[in-house]
């Protein structure tokens, strides 16, 4: 009989199983850490080793051209037995980051005030065809990423990158967790996608994000040559894909992006409103706590 799992080990195992069922590759150690708010890749490796030692996963490692190749397989016994495997996942080798254990979660200082979040004024194509169904499918995954950000105390924005009908990367806001002002959901997903395919040009890719990208993210989308952008709620205060300006369609730039807006916009906006509502309540209980009106 396998040893019992701790709560975090069970959550990590469930996440790995769900991820491998949806993808042909495994989640990286850093992706697992980001999902559960764990800063140290060494700590994540420890949990994976524990799952291996308890017989829930098999883990293989090799090195090729300076990167560590990780292979994971999961076997569940009993009724409805399933074996899920990924052997091609790549986690870049390098020094372990400072610190260990779970990341400290602090209220975020956001430049996206709740009062400025809205559904888009430009309606999406309403053909009800397969394209709309597929876009909602991927946007639903971006919303799941946004919910993870919410649980970490981050502004709930999520993004996924899809290539030829396959999910290749996902991300959510990590600005507070990583103390990184550039760690918006889109930037996190774009970096992971480029690492995954081994090239900075994300050709044949589509980016799904729950909130209209800001100037930084819109610029990264253009520079990475992403051909298609789909977002949910508009951001009249900071959005640069149709609200303040439209970098995605600027004829002076050497790349323009196909836009589709309003996909699951109400769900995206509702999640953001709930987040800021919760923060306002917190700020009233603790006057020194962060509030949406406090400068970033």
The order of strands in the sheet holding 228-233 is: 166-172, 158-163, 205-211, 228-233, 258-261
Q: Considering the candidates 91, 145, 154, 186, report the single residue annotated as catalytic.
A: 186
Q: Where are the beta strands (DSSP E) in the chain?
A: 57-64, 67-76, 82-92, 158-163, 166-172, 205-211, 228-233, 258-261
**Quick check: is 186 catalytic?**
yes
Count other Cβ atoms within 10 Å, centred on residue 95. Answer: 6
Q: Cα 195 vs. chain centroid, distance in angstroms?
A: 14
> Both tokens of residue 177?
């967790």
d(CA 36, CA 103): 9
> What is the dihedral angle through the alpha carbons of 113, 216, 230, 275, rounded to the nearest 10 degrees?
-20
Tokens 């069922």 sit on residue: 21
CB 272 within 8 A of CB 156: yes
Report phi then psi at 262, rounded to 5: 85, 5
> Both tokens of residue 87?
């052997």
Phi-psi region of 54 (alpha: psi -120 to 50; beta: other; left: phi over 0): alpha
Q: What b/e sequence results for 21-43 when a residue is b if at least 16 CB atoms lie within 10 Å of its CB, and e otherwise?
A: eebebbbbbbbbbbbbbbbbbeb
Active site residues: 186
């Amino acid at each position: 009989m396998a040893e019992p799992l701790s709560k975090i080990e069970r959550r990590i195992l469930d996440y790995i199983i769900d991820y491998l069922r949806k993808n042909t590759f495994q989640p990286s150690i850093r992706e697992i850490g980001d999902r559960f708010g764990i800063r140290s890749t060494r700590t994540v490796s420890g949990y994976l080793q524990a799952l291996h030692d308890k017989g829930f996963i098999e883990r293989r490692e090799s090195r090729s051209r300076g990167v560590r190749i990780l292979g994971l397989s999961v076997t569940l016994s009993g009724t409805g037995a399933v074996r899920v495997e990924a052997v091609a996942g790549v986690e870049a080798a390098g020094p372990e980051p400072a610190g260990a254990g779970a990341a400290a979660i602090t209220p975020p200082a956001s430049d996206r005030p709740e009062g400025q979040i809205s559904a888009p004024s430009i309606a999406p194509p309403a053909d009800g065809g397969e394209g709309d169904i597929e876009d909602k499918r991927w946007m639903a995954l971006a919303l799941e990423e946004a919910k993870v950000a919410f649980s970490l105390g981050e502004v709930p924005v999520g993004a996924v990158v899809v290539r030829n009908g396959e999910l290749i990367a996902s991300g959510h806001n990590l600005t507070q967790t990583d103390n990184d002002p550039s760690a918006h959901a889109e930037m996190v997903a774009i970096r992971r996608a480029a690492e995954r395919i081994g090239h900075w040009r994300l050709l044949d890719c589509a980016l799904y994000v729950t909130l209209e990208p800001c100037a930084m993210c819109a610029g990264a989308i253009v520079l990475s040559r992403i051909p298609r952008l789909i977002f949910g709620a508009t951001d009249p205060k900071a959005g640069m894909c149709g609200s303040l300006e439209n970098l995605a369609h600027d004829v002076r730039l050497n790349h323009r992006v196909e836009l589709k807006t309003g996909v699951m916009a109400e769900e995206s906006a509702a999640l953001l409103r709930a987040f800021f509502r919760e923060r306002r309540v917190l700020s009233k209980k603790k006057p020194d706590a962060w509030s949406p009106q406090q400068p970033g």
